Chain A
Amino acid sequence: MIRVRGLHKHYKVHERPPGLAAALRSVFRRRYKTIAAVDGIDFDIADGERVGFLGPNGAGKTTTLKVLAGLLHPTSGEVSVDGHEPRRRQDAFLKRIMLVLGQKQQLLWDLPPSETFELNRAVYDVPRVQYKETLDELTQLLQLGELVGKPTRTLSLGERMKCELAAALIHRPKVLFLDEPTIGLDVSMQATVRDFVARYNERSGATLILTSHNMDDVARLCPRVIVIDRGKLVYDGTLAELVTRIRPDKRVVLRFSRSVDAADLAALGKVVRHDAGESVLQVSKEAVNAVVSRALAHLPVSDLTVENPPLEEVMSELFARSQARRVAEAAS
């Protein structure tokens, strides 16, 4: 379905030091530097897969998505999406894909979303019967109801995102690129969007590629993750394996029936958090059974759970290691 080989995308950017003199100098003589936004990455994505593109800001995630969608031309390398070369933006390709950018919209601002839906029906040449079926399904799944008749400018951010998703799916794309789809949404709306996207993938078998800084999006939607840092691919595999590899330790969450001294916990493992009624311990995977037994035997435990470390911490650790490796390479 998607094949990427040796993808490079370089930008030449104007560089200017601060200050008036530098501003004047830049009028006559400009200095440029080349930035490698994507620096030689390879991957394959199969039909119907759900893949998360992860990385810190400026890692090259959105650039990669835009190259896959045909909006940016690669500096070098091969890209194939559903048998098409995205940069050519042929009709047959455009009718098979959709890119949803959380911070940009395709809805017509002054008109109700229903007008954008109708416009997309016409431009994607969707037969009327199929259009009605799709719209009914989307209206039900996303609970659009009366939203489609209100001017877009009067909708809340969450309502707009639901309508954006509906507009993006009118032509039933087989490849869906989502760039930060839950950015700015409240917790309940984030969950609605995530559930909807997962259900769309299950029902339609569409391939889904998502970028997000929200680890709940990734955990819910992406069994596989591709991590990019400074334009380079630093991990490609399952989310579970990434967590095990980067942070093999476990979190033991203990809730107590009466308060417990922190010193009593330190003997069990590293205390990550200690409140009046709840404490979190970090312990190695091998020591979990022993720690749980000792806690139950010696402490007033009312509830106990064993969890993986939060994904945010896993990603921070991964990026920190990547950064340290770069510094070490630069020094040598």
Chain B
Amino acid sequence: MSLRNTARAFPTLLRVGFAEAVAYRAEMLVWVLATTMPLVMLALWSTVARDAPVGRYGQPQFVAYFLSTFIVRQLTGSWAFWEMNQDVKSGALGMRLLRPVHPLLAYAAESLAAMPMRVVVSLPLAAVALGVIGAGGVTHDPVLWVLWAVSLAGAWLLTLFIGLAVGCAAFFFESSLKVMDLWLVFFFVFSGYLLPVEILPGGLRAVVDALPFRFQIGLPVELMTGALGRGEALGMLARQWAWVAVSLGSTALMWRRGLRRFEAYGG
């Protein structure tokens, strides 16, 4: 399965993936509603901060933070683990293996293909967010915006690779979805999705800083809201991409081992 062949087919994979993403209008609406947790958290934390700020977060900071979180989540989400789990369990992975395109790249294309829809959802909210929080709620530093774009790509890749690695667990376990459920418990708390990592207790924060979760959501949000300076941002970005490399390596390893098992037992 050569990369050249895959690269040639990639635009069609993206186009067909996009057609699949928009096939169901009702499903799209449900999907949008299912990702509104940051807006719920916005209401919750704004209430908490009504009388006194939490750390450096007053009501305006929480509004800026969670609107940014919603946008970042839309632009970095990936459901590849779900697709892969289904394919391994149903044996449909066999049909993917018969095509001269690497299945992992096909999953990546399908995930990427859903992005235009997510941008369409995010753009109006970004406009509303800007209106609500004002220009002061986001960073004015163009360098940080460039770093934000890089961190967004890193966050998407990290989420995709982790999803694929967990999807590979389906080769070994009855259902990799349970593994993903476990991962999501930590993701929700430690990524900055439900609360800013900054307000976690000191000891716990040190642990969280050593884990990959924050780089999936927290880092792009912090860059967007101007919570990090240039130097600190560069350091965090380096760590994020180190995690991207680690997750890529883990996915490749899990895939090779899992595929060996699939080829031994079939689907």
For the residues of B in contact with A, the DSSP-based class is helix
Say yes or no: A110 contacts B23, CB within 8 Å: yes
Query: Which chain B residues (248-265) contact chain A, with CB distance < 8 Å?
Result: 263-265
Say yes or no: B9 contacts A122, CB within 8 Å: yes
Say yes or no: A89 contacts B12, CB within 8 Å: no
Query: Which chain B residues (79-136) contact chain A, with CB distance < 8 Å?
Result: 90-92, 94-95, 97-101
Which of A69-77, A195-203, A282-290 contacts its partner?
A: A69-77
Cβ-closest chain A residue relative to B96: A106
Say yes or no: A87 contacts B98, CB within 8 Å: no
- Alpha-carbon gap, A104 to B93, bound state (A): 10
Query: Which chain B residues (1-42) contact chain A, with CB distance < 8 Å?
Result: 1-2, 5, 8-9, 11-13, 16, 19-20, 23-24
- Alpha-carbon gap, A16 to B20, bound state (A): 41
A3, CB-defined interface residue at 8 Å: no
A278, CB-defined interface residue at 8 Å: no
A44, CB-defined interface residue at 8 Å: no
B266, CB-defined interface residue at 8 Å: yes
- Alpha-carbon gap, A124 to B5, bound state (A): 8
A155, CB-defined interface residue at 8 Å: no
Number of B interface residues, CB 8 Å?
Answer: 28
Which A residues lie within 8 Å of B95 (CB)?
A: 101, 104-106
Which residue from A69, A72, A91, A110 sits with its C-beta under 8 Å from B100?
A: A91
Which residue from A66, A99, A108 sits with its C-beta under 8 Å from B20?
A: A108
Which B residues lie within 8 Å of A118 (CB)?
A: 12, 16
Which B residues lie within 8 Å of A119 (CB)?
A: 12-13, 16
Interface 0/1 of A96-135, CB less than 8 Å to B:
0111010011101011000100111111110000000000
Which A residues lie within 8 Å of B19 (CB)?
A: 111, 115
A63, CB-defined interface residue at 8 Å: yes
Say yes or no: B266 contacts A71, CB within 8 Å: yes
Say yes or no: A69 contacts B263, CB within 8 Å: no
Which A residues lie within 8 Å of B12 (CB)?
A: 118-119, 121-123
A95, CB-defined interface residue at 8 Å: yes
Cβ-closest chain B residue relative to A73: B263
Say yes or no: B98 contacts A98, CB within 8 Å: yes
Interface 0/1 of B58-91, CB less than 8 Å to A:
0000000000000000000000000000000011
- Alpha-carbon gap, A177 to B147, bound state (A): 51
Closest-CB distance, B136 to chain A (whole angstroms): 44
Which B residues lie within 8 Å of A121 (CB)?
A: 12
Say yes or no: A123 contacts B99, CB within 8 Å: yes
Say yes or no: B20 contacts A69, CB within 8 Å: no
Which B residues lie within 8 Å of A105 (CB)?
A: 95
- Alpha-carbon gap, A281 to B183, bound state (A): 70
- Alpha-carbon gap, A70 to B2, bound state (A): 16
User: What 19 new A-B contacts, CB under 8 Å, besides A11-B265, A110-B24, A122-B12?
Assistant: A70-B97, A71-B263, A72-B266, A73-B263, A89-B97, A97-B98, A98-B98, A104-B90, A104-B91, A104-B95, A108-B20, A111-B19, A115-B16, A115-B19, A122-B13, A123-B13, A124-B100, A125-B5, A151-B23
List chain B positions with a Cβ less than 8 A from chain A: 1-2, 5, 8-9, 11-13, 16, 19-20, 23-24, 90-92, 94-95, 97-101, 263-267
**Sampled A-B contacts (25; CB under 8 Å):** A11-B265, A66-B266, A69-B98, A70-B97, A70-B98, A71-B97, A71-B263, A73-B264, A91-B1, A94-B1, A94-B99, A95-B100, A98-B98, A99-B98, A101-B95, A110-B20, A110-B24, A111-B16, A118-B16, A119-B16, A122-B11, A122-B12, A123-B12, A123-B101, A125-B8
